[in-house]
Amino acid sequence: DTTLAAPESDPNKARTVPLLRNFVDGAFVEGRVRFDNVSPVDGSLVARVCEADAATVDAAVRAAKRAQCEVWGRMPAAERAKVLHRIADGIEARFDEFVAAEIADTGKSQHQARTIDIPRGAANFRVFADMVKVAGQECFEMDTPDGRGALNYSVARPHGVVGVISPWNLPLLLLTWKVAPALATSNCVVAKPSEETPSTATLLAEVMQDAGVPAGVFNLVHGFGPGSAGEFLTAHPDVDAITFTGASATGSVIMKAAAPTVKPLSFELGGKNAAIVFADADFDAAVAGTVRSVFSNCGQVCLCSERVYVERSIFDRFVAALAERARALTIGRPEDGVDMGPLISREHREKVTGYFEIARAEGATFVTGGGIPAFGDERDAGAFVEPTILTGLPETARTVREEIFGPICHIAPFDSEEEAVALANNTDYGLAAAVWTQDIKRGHRVARQMEVGIVWVNDWFLRDLRTPFGGVGLSGVGREGGRHSLAFYAEPSNICIKL
């Protein structure tokens, strides 16, 4: 049985589409209100989705609270780790279904879904299951005036109920990046995936059920942000912590919603990431890496480069080479083995093409792209856009300052290392940077000066899940990854014993 849930008839297309339900206290529940999940490839209906109302979110939070107190919080770490490995096994056993569901929602390439999204979804559970089994705590002996001393040790304390809110660009990967460590540290979870990408999250709930995860430990609520499941979750007094990945403006709204109950927050937000290419770089590697860092997932990775700074002596050659590679990218249906799928939705395409207009008004030179491809078939009802390279804008241009989140970059020349550093850091964001140079000292020197959470030297998007991940400025609050995740989801409390 490969259906996501009980099928429901779609009157428009006279075919059955899945009905994606909420998952509360170990059971799938429907609710009255439904919304459509539409394919960005051709506008067809992918699924109908049950929107969680306030009562459903409340039931999910209550179930999570009870399960945390009575079951999950009492389970030994090694037992919890076994359950998490069973979840990873379950994802791997239904690998092709997860790939198909992720592609149906996003239109992303087969290659990306098969090599990044779904494997990382399973890996997230394995990594944190293994970490929590061996995680230790601090211990400090101290002197006291009476000479007998005291012993301090810390214990990791889970928050209780963690609200997880995730975006649409890497749906399963980013959801599990938070669900896995939250569960590993014995919290229970109420997760709200993006309304654009509800399918793999629903499959994950099925996997949880099949893996024997106790009822209430993992709950899934579908819906939107304001006035919907997202807001109900962030404002709920019994949600003890919120972990969010998404736009910076949304982070600001969630921060306000969480303020009255002073909830701990972890935010992974937007970026306007720079790539710096020095003349001493391996030219071909820098071009290939920048093609990836600008156009992967149709430019919809928070880590993507939207600002490329190239040393003047190789500027023209680099722009020409990148443009040639961009023009050669194949665009279309994921099943046709193309390099680039569509943007996530027509609405998002309007935002991206809106920036094409802004860039034109700002006086940009369009080296390539800047339009919407015409296919002459049903893909014209999708959300495709051309890979786009701009030059000639001042640093003050909106196109150079604001996150666009599409397959687009602006390339500008620089003359010195100091200038390159200053240009890269001249942003309100601070998520990631890529530095291309064969001078090892320069690589270290420049990387340390980047005011961001993650720097790659001579690569991009190479991720070790034990490393700290997060941003500065508008790009986020806090760090997750490895022990940083464990420290966020289960904060240490100190116990001081007088000897």
CA distance between the termini of the chain? 62
Asked if residue 168 binds ligand NAD (CB under 6 A), the reply is: yes
Tokens representing residue 31 in the block? 């609710």
Q: Of 167 and 387, which has the nearer Cβ to ligand NAD? A: 167
Q: Which stretch binds ligand NAD (CB under 6 A): 19-27, 144-152, 162-170, 380-388?
A: 162-170
Asked if residue 253 binds ligand NAD (CB under 6 A), the reply is: yes
Q: At what angle do helices 312-328 and 283-295 cross, to 10 degrees?
A: 50
Q: How far is the CB of 492 from ligand NAD (least distance, A)?
A: 24
Asked if residue 432 binds ligand NAD (CB under 6 A), the reply is: no
Asked if residue 476 binds ligand NAD (CB under 6 A), the reply is: yes
Asked if residue 225 binds ligand NAD (CB under 6 A), the reply is: yes
Asked if residue 271 binds ligand NAD (CB under 6 A), the reply is: yes
Q: What sign does the dihedral 97-98-101-106 (CA atoms) show? A: negative
Q: At what angle do helices 118-134 and 171-184 cross, to 10 degrees?
A: 10
Q: Which stretch binds ligand NAD (CB under 6 A): 159-167, 350-358, 383-391, 458-466?
A: 159-167
C-alpha–C-alpha distance, residues 384 and 339, integer Å: 12
- 372 closest CA partner among 400, 390, 350, 398: 350
Asked if residue 250 binds ligand NAD (CB under 6 A), the reply is: yes
| Residue 360 CB neighbour total at 10 angstroms | 14
Is residue 231 part of the annotated active site? The answer reads no
Q: How far is the CB of 250 from ligand NAD (least distance, A)?
A: 3
Q: E-strand spans in 124-178?
A: 139-142, 150-158, 161-165
Q: Are 49 and 34 in contact (CB under 8 A)?
A: yes
Q: How far is the CB of 259 from ligand NAD (least distance, A)?
A: 13
Candidate list 318, 405, 436, 460; residue touching ligand NAD; CB under 6 A? 405
Strand partners, 365: 391
Tokens representing residue 115 in the block? 């090599």
Amino acid at 315: F
Q: Are 10 and 16 in contact (CB under 8 A)?
A: yes
Candidate list 51, 53, 102, 231; residue touching ligand NAD; CB under 6 A? 231
Candidate list 18, 119, 160, 167; residue touching ligand NAD; CB under 6 A? 167
Helix (H, G, I), strand (E, B), or coil: what is residue 268?
Answer: strand
Q: Of 186 and 197, which has the nearer Cβ to ligand NAD? A: 197
Asked if residue 226 binds ligand NAD (CB under 6 A), the reply is: yes
Asked if residue 192 binds ligand NAD (CB under 6 A), the reply is: yes
Q: E-strand spans in 229-294?
A: 241-245, 265-268, 273-277
Beta 7-10 vs 15-20: how paired, if at all? antiparallel
Q: Of 202 and 391, which has the nearer Cβ to ligand NAD? A: 202
Candidate list 118, 269, 298, 455; residue touching ligand NAD; CB under 6 A? 269
Number of residues engaging ligand NAD in binding (CB under 6 A): 31
Candidate list 53, 58, 117, 195; residue touching ligand NAD; CB under 6 A? 195
Q: How far is the CB of 392 from ligand NAD (least distance, A)?
A: 25
Amino acid at 246: G
C-alpha–C-alpha distance, residues 308 and 114, integer Å: 28
Site pattern 285..314 for ligand NAD (x: CB under 6 A): -----------------x------------
Q: Are 189 and 179 in contact (CB under 8 A)?
A: yes
Asked if residue 471 binds ligand NAD (CB under 6 A), the reply is: yes
Q: How far is the CB of 412 from ligand NAD (least distance, A)?
A: 21
Asked if residue 102 binds ligand NAD (CB under 6 A), the reply is: no
Q: Are 167 and 63 in contact (CB under 8 A)?
A: no
| Residue 426 CB neighbour total at 10 angstroms | 15
Catalytic residue among 51, 195, 196, 268: 268
Asked if residue 61 binds ligand NAD (CB under 6 A), the reply is: no
Q: Which stretch binds ligand NAD (CB under 6 A): 51-59, 189-197, 210-218, 381-389?
A: 189-197
Candidate list 18, 158, 181, 270; residue touching ligand NAD; CB under 6 A? 270
Q: How far is the CB of 119 from ligand NAD (least distance, A)?
A: 18
C-alpha–C-alpha distance, residues 264 and 239, integer Å: 10
Asked if residue 234 binds ligand NAD (CB under 6 A), the reply is: yes
Asked if residue 339 binds ligand NAD (CB under 6 A), the reply is: no
Tokens representing residue 406 in the block? 């599409």
C-alpha–C-alpha distance, residues 244 and 470, integer Å: 11
Beta 218-220 vs 188-192: how paired, if at all? parallel
Asked if residue 53 binds ligand NAD (CB under 6 A), the reply is: no
Tokens representing residue 483 in the block? 């022990």
Site pattern 357..396 for ligand NAD (x: CB under 6 A): ----------------------------------------
- 156 closest CA partner among 465, 496, 486, 483: 486
- Which residues are at the interface with ligand NAD (CB under 6 A)? 165-169, 174, 192, 194-195, 224-226, 230-231, 234, 245-247, 250, 253-254, 268-271, 302, 403, 405, 431, 471, 476
Catalytic sites, residue numbers: 268
